[in-house]
Amino acid sequence: MTKKKPTILVVNDDGITAPGIKVLLEEMKKLGNVVVVAPDGPQSGMGHAISIGKPLRLDKVEIYEGIEMYKCSGTPVDCVKLAVDRIFRDNKPDLCVSGVNHGLNYSINVLYSGTMSAAVEGAIEGIPSIGFSLDDFSHSADFTHVRPYLAGIAQQVLANGLPKGTLLNVNFPHIDKEIKGIKICRQANGNWVEEFEHRVDPYNREYYWMTGRYEWMDRGEDTDVFAINNGYVSIVPTQYDMTAHHAIQELNSWSFDLND
């Protein structure tokens, strides 16, 4: 009896024509039947935004031969929601993969990332999900060195599943760094220190352009930032339950009786 091939949903936030999604769908095609649902244009930094109060368009397109593909007018999360509701309906995919993002999504970036939010939405839907990102923002980024890891990591998730409410955040070093292996990590403690440059457009109207720098607060060798900086692929098991469980006991010691 022939074993049924798994169905794999491929999404991203860089847009349906981004080089990163082409690499990802080509590798996923080796593992199963691929369906691509991606934004019709770049949606980086959208986080977990969804479209409310405006129509969503979902159009079938033919970009790569033999691949079922749809472009969506909404956000990366919209793409997953529409795919589950309108394309897969009662038969959810066996795996949801997002990326490969042009740019890292380690540390605090996971909160802002459209790539990771699409994977989070997959996990919310009960689908084993992975977000993939590369340390290269260039449109002409070279993904050669990450290809074997895409299929390998996805195959492990298909074979073993993931704990309920958990997904994987996978980041790859730049091609200039030799990959030494894979490290299972925690999310590094860091944040962006934003600056907003004041500018004036050709019509003499003021506007602001966000810039800034990343600050790495800890130097732990068990973090995703350390792994990437030292030539490793980082894998962080991530959850969408944002409850600060460690704070519950302390809060229960407070007095919330407003009549006192």
Average pLDDT rounded to a whole number, residues 58-86: 96
Average pLDDT rounded to a whole number, residues 54-61: 95
Helix, strand, coil share (%) of the chain residues, nearest 5: 25, 30, 45
* Bond before 80 cis per omega within 30 degrees: no
Question: Tokens 């690499």 identify what position?
Answer: 23
> What DSSP letter does each residue of 39-89 carry, written as one string?
ESS--TT-TT----SS---EEEE-SSTT-EEEEESS-HHHHHHHIIIIIIT
Q: How far apart are CA 118 and CA 111, in angstroms?
A: 11
Pair 180, 169: CB distance under 8 Å? no
Sign of CA dihedral 41, 46, 47, 51: negative
What's the predicted TM-score (pTM) here?
Answer: 0.93
Is domain 7-188+219-252 given the CATH code 3.40.1210.10 in the classification?
yes
CA distances in angstroms from 72 to 25, 37, 46, 76, listed in the order given: 17, 7, 14, 9
pLDDT of residue 150: 98
pLDDT of residue 77: 97
Strand partners, 7: 33
pLDDT confidence bin for 181, thresholds 50/70/90:
very high
Break the chain into its structural domains and give their ranges: 7-188+219-252
pLDDT at 128 over 90: yes
Pair 214, 105: CB distance under 8 Å? no
Q: How far apart are CA 158 and CA 103, in angstroms?
A: 25
Pairing of strands 181-184, 166-172: unpaired
> What DSSP letter does each residue of 112-144 carry, written as one string?
H-HHHHHHHHHHHTT--EEEEEES---TT---G
Residues making up the chain, counted from first to last:
260
What is the per-residue pLDDT across 186-212, written as a single tens digit (0 to 9) for each?
999 888 777 889 999 999 999 999 888
What is the per-residue pLDDT across 216-239, written as a single tens digit (0 to 9) for each?
788 889 999 999 999 999 999 999
pLDDT at 246 over 90: yes
Average pLDDT rounded to a whole number, residues 169-179: 95
